Amino acid sequence: MTKWIGIWALSIVFFWGSTAAWSLDLNLPKTAYQGDLIVGKTEPTAEVRVKGKRQIVGPQGYFVLPVPRDQKTDFLVTVTSETESLSYIIRILAYPWRTQKINGLSKKYVTPPPEQQKRVISDNHKVQNVRGDHPYPVPFFVRKGFIKPVNGTVTSPFGLNRVLNGKPKSFHSGIDIAAPLGHPVHCPADGIVRLVDSDMFLMGKTLMIDHGLGVTSIFIHLDAIAANTGDLIRQGDLIARVGKTGRATGPHLHWGVSAGRTPLDPQRLINREFK
C-alpha cells in the first residue's frame, strides 16, 4: 500500500502511458437499467453534460453516468468541443425491485433513540462528504474492473425495498455477502482509501475507497480494517475482515458502490470490462 504522494503524476504514467491525438467521438451504450453505472468515452477536452449538468472527464476521455435506482426518464447526453457537438439518448429500462423483510433487530438500530440520532447523522455526513468531495480524475477502476471482495453468497441484493422489524425503510443501497467472522475482505478495484472509521453507530467499522471519477466503494460491519486513509490500494489487496459490528444480525460484508452520491448495483460491476 502506497501513501498518496504525487499519485496524480504517477497515475498518468502508470495508467495511460503516452498521449494520442483525438477527434470528437462518443462511445456510450444504447440502453441501461436503473442502478447501472454507465461508463462513456470521448475526447478528453470535450464537455459532457446530462440534463444540463456537467460531468467530469478524465485524461483519457472516460466519464461516468450513474443511473439512480428510481430513474424514470431517458438520459440525453451532449458532448461539445470547440468545433463540434454531439447528442445521444440512452434509454433507461426499469428493473424489477423486490421487497425484503428482516426481523429480530435490536429496536435501537431500527428506530435510534434521540441520543443516537446525532451519531447517525454525523456518520452519514462523513460518508456523504467523501462521495461529494472532488473526485480523482483518473479512473483507476477501468484497467482491471471489479472483482468480488469476499467469497460468499449474496444474501441481500441491491435495491431491495427493506422492511425492518415490520417498519418500511429506505432501499438497500449495496449487497450483503454472507461469510464467516474474520473472513478476509479484498479490494475489488484499484483506488485510494478515503475513510476509515472504527465506530459508526449503524455501520460499525467502516472503510471507503475512491476508485476515481467519483466512483467509491464502502465496506461496513467490519471486524477489523487493514488499511489507512491515504493508502493506494491495488485490486486483490487485503483491506479488512468480515464482521458483525453496527446494525447486523450476523457476520457478513455489506459492499456498496456509488458514483457521486448515487448508489449503484455492485453485482453488475463484477468482472465487467470497461475499456
The total of other beta-carbon atoms located within 10 Å of residue 121's CB is 11
Which band of pLDDT confidence, cut at 50, 70 and 90, is reported for residue 27?
A: confident
Fold held by 18-93: Immunoglobulin-like (2.60.40)
User: Do the Cβ atoms of 49 and 78 come closer than 8 Å?
Assistant: yes
Which band of pLDDT confidence, cut at 50, 70 and 90, is reported for residue 259?
A: very high
Give me the pLDDT at residue 5, please: 38
Fold held by 99-269: Glucose Permease (Domain IIA) (2.70.70)
The CA-based angle 198-204-207, given to 5 degrees, is: 60
Q: Which among 99, 86, 8 has a CA at the least distance from the CA of 47?
A: 86
Give me the pLDDT at residue 20, please: 43
Q: Distance between terminal CA atoms of the chain?
A: 25
Give me the pLDDT at residue 17, please: 42
- In percent, the amount of the chain with pLDDT more than 90 equals 67
Which amino acid would we find at residue 174?
Answer: G
Q: Tell me which of 158 and 105 has the higher pLDDT.
A: 158
User: Do the Cβ atoms of 42 and 26 come closer than 8 Å?
Assistant: yes
Task: Tell whether the model's pLDDT for residue 227 goes beyond 90.
Answer: yes
| Calpha distance 64→41 (Å, rounded) | 9
Return the SS3 of 112: coil
**Element holding 233 (H helix, E strand):** strand 231-233
Mean per-residue pLDDT, 179-190 = 97
What are the domain boundaries of the chain?
18-93, 99-269
Q: Which among 247, 249, 256 has a CA at the least distance from the CA of 207?
A: 256
Which band of pLDDT confidence, cut at 50, 70 and 90, is reported for residue 1?
A: low
